[in-house]
Structure formats: C-alpha cells, structure tokens
Chains A and B, each alone.
Chain A
Amino acid sequence: MSEPLIQLNQVNLELGGRVLLENVNFELGAGEILTIIGPNGAGKTTLLRVALGLQRPSSGQVKLQRGMTIGYMPQKLHIDPTFPLTVRRFLSLACQNQLEKVLPLLAEVGAGHVLESSLQTLSGGELQRVLLARALVREPNLLVLDEPVQGVDVHGQTELYQLIGRIRDLRGCAIMMVSHDLHLVMAATDRVLCLNRHICCSGTPESVKNDPAYVELFGRQAVEQLAVYVHDQNHQHDHCADCSRRSCNVR
C-alpha cells in the first residue's frame, strides 16, 4: 500500500487548560473519503486544523505526505461588506488569473452563473459551491472540507454530497471532511470517524452506525431516525475496543 497522505500519531491538544483532542490516531490514504462526525464542541474543526498544520498539537505527530497539494474549504468565510470581490477574482487569486481554469471548475460545481457576482451577495448554497471550486483550483491530492453543506437546505445538501462523491471519482483525490449531519453523509463516505475529543469509534458507515459508542454519543432517537434513511436490516455489531473503555458522553 502506498504511503498515507495524512498520518496522525497519538495527537493530543490542550489549550488554556482545556483538553480539545485526546490520543487521536488515524491515517488517510489516497483516494479515500473520510468523514469526521461528532457533536458540537467535539473538536472536529480543531482536528482538521491540526491535520492541516494550522494548529500545532501539544504532543504527538502529524505527518503529511511530501509534495502533496491540499485544497481547503473553510467552515465560514467572513468577508467585510466593504471588500469589493467578485467570484471571478476570488477564484483567480488562487491560480494566477488563469481564467480558462476557473470557468470549467465553476461549471463543475454547478455555480457557473455567479462568476461576476460579488461574493457577499451569494446564497448559502452558492457560496459553498464557490468555496469548493476554490479548493479545487490548485488540483489537490487532498480535499479538506469543513462542514461543506453548512447553510444549505436538505435537498441541496444531498446534491452537494453527491457532487463531492463525483469529484473524488473523477479526480481520484482523497477527501477529509467534517459533518454533523449523520444521515446524509453516510452514503458519500468510505470511512467514518466518530469524534468526541477522542475517537469513539471508526470504520465503515455501516459498522459505525451500529456501534454502541455511536448510539450513546448521538442518542437513540437520532440513530433510529437515521435508520429511515439508511435501509439496512442485516447489520453486524462491530465494537471497537476504544469504546468499551471510555464513556463517549459529552463531558
């Protein structure tokens, strides 16, 4: 097997006396889609920031494959209303004004019509698509998406996840994303990592959703609702060792 794109080894992070990440280990291989889910305050965004090298861990190792290009889609984009910025300019800032590159990308994510719009006037869904296009501009080996469907209605969310899946199939890039909507993401991911400061459980979507740690973390009701979306009766209980030792409740 080839060298993983990202490898986290016993990563701990403590800021101002608060433990944000505890003994996190995982790796991400080429072309793989990994989704991090967890409740609010579980450290999902923090984990992305550590993996990207934006935040240094208190202890442990973060290894990124050398020479890898990363496309990053941040959770929020706060641009002051006084900043005159069109979508065209926003995208071309990442690629030395090569417009011939920008146009097909924008079409690929389904936002070709906003090319000349000002960034501040975009709707939630349009902005997410433009941010996704920006992440793709530099032809990344790895896409890191922080809540890519934020502020998008349910129908649009399904579409966006399908789009993300297509992007991986077409480009073969690995994708690491954060999400807290459980049901929609299940279909569009190879592996799920359930985080509540430490990794509660991980594995295929199927195995995770039946994991007691997952059930405990998100509550039985949420999980039963989930069953409506993922039609699956023949599941197997797949416990991960970590969960039996530790409570996954929000402390």
Chain B
Amino acid sequence: MFDDFLLRALVGGLGVALVAGPFGSFVVWRRLAYFGDTLAHSALLGVALGFVLHVNLTVGIVVICQLLAILLFASQRQRQLASDTLLGIFAHGALSLGLVTLAFMDDVRIDLVGYLFGDILAIGSADLGWIFIGGGMALGGLLWLWKPLLAITIHEDLARVEGIAVDRINWLFLGLIALTVAVMMKVVGMLLVTSLLIIPAATARRFAVNPEIMALLSSLIGCGAVALGLYGSFQFDTPSGPSIVVGACLIFILAFLVPGPGSKKALSRN
C-alpha cells in the first residue's frame, strides 16, 4: 500500500505540519489568522505570475506572498481603515485578480481545485524540496527570532523600551509567515492553509504550559491530522486537503474529552 506517491504525500504533509506548528502558535497568539488567509488568497496571483514570466509556479507564489506581506505591513501604518477591512480588500482583490489574470491566458489550463484545496497526492520530488528547504528556512528563521518575538507578542512598546528592534523583527516575521504559507499551499491549498495553522495550535493550547510546548504540540497534532487525513483520503477516496482539515478538526474535538493541565487549573481558579 505504500506507493511512491503516497509516501511522498506523507513525507511532504508531515514536513508542512512540522513547520505549521510554531508559526500557527504565533498566528493564534497574535491574532493573525486573517492575515495568513490574505497571504494564501494571493497565491493564485503568484501562479498567474509564474505563467506570465515563465518561472516556477512556486517561485511565483513565494514572490507574490512576500510582496503582499510588505504591502500589508506598510499599509497597516495608516489609520483610515481598520486592519481587517484592509485585509479583506487585499485577500479578495488578490484572489480575484489572480482568477481574472488566469482567464486571460487562453493557452493555460490549470487545476484550479488543486490550488484552492491542495493536491497532496500529486506532490513531486521538487515540491518535497520546496517543503523541506523553504520550510526549514522558515523554521530556522523563526527559532532565531523566537525570544524577541515572544517579547513583542507580550507587549510591543515594552519590547521597544527594552531595546528590541520591533519593526525589523515584525518585518522578518511576516516574511517568514509568507514563506510558510507559500510552502503549505501544495498540501492543503490556499483556502485551507490557515486551518492547518490555527487548528493544531488551538488544540495544543489546553495542554501547553509554556510557549515552546505549545509550538511543539501543535506540530505533533498537525502531523496526526496529516496522517489521519491521508489515510481517510486513501481509504474513502475523498479529496486530500479537506480530509486533512477534517482530521485536524476531529483531533480538536477529541482533545476536549481529555482533561488537560490547563483546564484543571482554570476550573480551580474559578
């Protein structure tokens, strides 16, 4: 039963889940879910860019995600529009622009569903390379920024007074998230990327006593979701990306049946 494509899918999926754990934790802590969604929505524009410029599609996605991250960071300094309004404009604007651009290219036929919901079973060795090199870089970068990022997550001004270069670290962090999102695209698709970031992290919260354990647990839970989803997809012939997300949701629900250390403390406190 371990065909090549299935093994590649599993390895790629596990790799993505490992990277998604720590990033997802920060996304949850800093309430960046919508931000991740916006980056993912822009990916189709990246695909279109790849076709137009005849470059690797993943390169196109990475470039567009990075550009959008820069644009978002810069535009958050204005105070005219609330940031979720702004994100909504960028998310749907970028998605629609991507679809329209692709429609202009008569000779291009892409598997739109594959981009929207992921196609983990079609992962090739090149994709695996992207996942492990790109994802590894993102993870390495995050570890390097870990402590200052925690301080910024607690209180930006406090971090600034204590001498942390808040703006520069936020820039880098958004760039790393953009890279992660681009890498995750292949596995769960642009519409489901955020779910693989936040569901494992939300599940891990009840069992985590410190940020590091939460990040690690998120990775493990994500791996469980990938394994579960792949198995289900193979067994019942269901689409792989949504199956993984359903797997993550199942673990999330099941986790509520297990008493965690956090829940006991919360109860006794009340």
Give the residue name and chain of the B residue nearest to A93 (CB).
Answer: B151
Most buried by B among A54, A72, A82, A121: A82
Bound-state CA distance A118–B29 (Å) is 15
Q: Which stretch from B97-105, B136-144, B154-162, B189-197 is at the chain A interface?
A: B154-162
Within 8 Å of chain A (Cβ to Cβ): is B109? no
B contact set with A: CB distance below 8 Å: 28-31, 79, 147, 150-151, 153-155, 157-158, 160-162, 201-202, 205, 208-211, 213-214, 262, 265-266, 269
Q: Which of A54, A93, A121 contacts B150 (CB 8 A)?
A: A93
- A90 lies within 8 A of B208 (CB): no
Q: Which of B29, B79, B213 contacts A83 (CB 8 A)?
A: B29
- B160 lies within 8 A of A54 (CB): yes
> What distance in Å separates the Cβ of A102 from its nearest Cβ neighbour in chain B?
15
Bound-state CA distance A121–B150 (Å) is 19
A contact set with B: CB distance below 8 Å: 16, 49, 52, 54, 70, 72, 74, 77, 79-80, 82-86, 89-90, 93-94, 118, 121, 134, 138, 144
Most buried by B among A84, A85, A89: A84
Q: Which of B154, B202, B266 contacts A93 (CB 8 A)?
A: B154
Bound-state CA distance A52–B163 (Å) is 11
- A77 lies within 8 A of B155 (CB): yes
- B157 lies within 8 A of A80 (CB): no
A121 in contact with B154 given A80-B30, A82-B202, A89-B210 (CB within 8 Å): no
Set of chain A residues within 8 Å of B262, measured between Cβ atoms: 84
- A138 lies within 8 A of B162 (CB): yes
Set of chain B residues within 8 Å of A94, measured between Cβ atoms: 151, 162
- B269 lies within 8 A of A52 (CB): no
> What distance in Å separates the Cβ of A173 from its nearest Cβ neighbour in chain B?
15
A121 in contact with B269 given A82-B201, A93-B150 (CB within 8 Å): yes
- A82 lies within 8 A of B28 (CB): yes
Set of chain A residues within 8 Å of B155, measured between Cβ atoms: 74, 77
A-B pairs with beta carbons under 8 Å apart, 6 shown:
A52-B161, A74-B158, A80-B29, A80-B30, A94-B151, A118-B265
Set of chain B residues within 8 Å of A89, measured between Cβ atoms: 210-211
Q: Which of B158, B210, B213, B266 contacts A72 (CB 8 A)?
A: B158
Bound-state CA distance A16–B205 (Å) is 40
Q: Is the interface of B mostly helix, strand, loop or mixed?
A: helix
- A93 lies within 8 A of B210 (CB): no
A83 in contact with B211 given A16-B79, A74-B155, A118-B265 (CB within 8 Å): yes
Bound-state CA distance A89–B211 (Å) is 10
Bound-state CA distance A82–B150 (Å) is 13
Set of chain B residues within 8 Å of A16, measured between Cβ atoms: 79
Closest 6 CB pairs of A and B: A72-B161, A83-B29, A84-B208, A82-B28, A82-B205, A121-B269
Set of chain A residues within 8 Å of B29, measured between Cβ atoms: 80, 82-83
> What distance in Å separates the Cβ of B251 from its nearest Cβ neighbour in chain A?
17
A86 in contact with B210 given A70-B161, A80-B31, A93-B151 (CB within 8 Å): yes
A83 in contact with B153 given A16-B79, A93-B147, A94-B162 (CB within 8 Å): yes
> What distance in Å separates the Cβ of A46 from its nearest Cβ neighbour in chain B?
12
> What distance in Å separates the Cβ of A5 from its nearest Cβ neighbour in chain B?
14
Q: Which of B30, B161, B202, B210 contacts A54 (CB 8 A)?
A: B161
Set of chain B residues within 8 Å of A74, measured between Cβ atoms: 155, 157-158
Bound-state CA distance A72–B161 (Å) is 7
Set of chain A residues within 8 Å of B161, measured between Cβ atoms: 52, 54, 70, 72, 144
- B214 lies within 8 A of A72 (CB): no
A84 in contact with B210 given A16-B79, A121-B269 (CB within 8 Å): yes
Give the residue name and chain of the B residue nearest to A81 (CB).
Answer: B205
Set of chain A residues within 8 Å of B31, measured between Cβ atoms: 80
Set of chain A residues within 8 Å of B158, measured between Cβ atoms: 72, 74, 134
Bound-state CA distance A160–B164 (Å) is 29
Bound-state CA distance A144–B205 (Å) is 33
Bound-state CA distance A77–B211 (Å) is 17
Bound-state CA distance A54–B150 (Å) is 19
Bound-state CA distance A121–B213 (Å) is 19
Bound-state CA distance A49–B156 (Å) is 12
- A72 lies within 8 A of B150 (CB): no
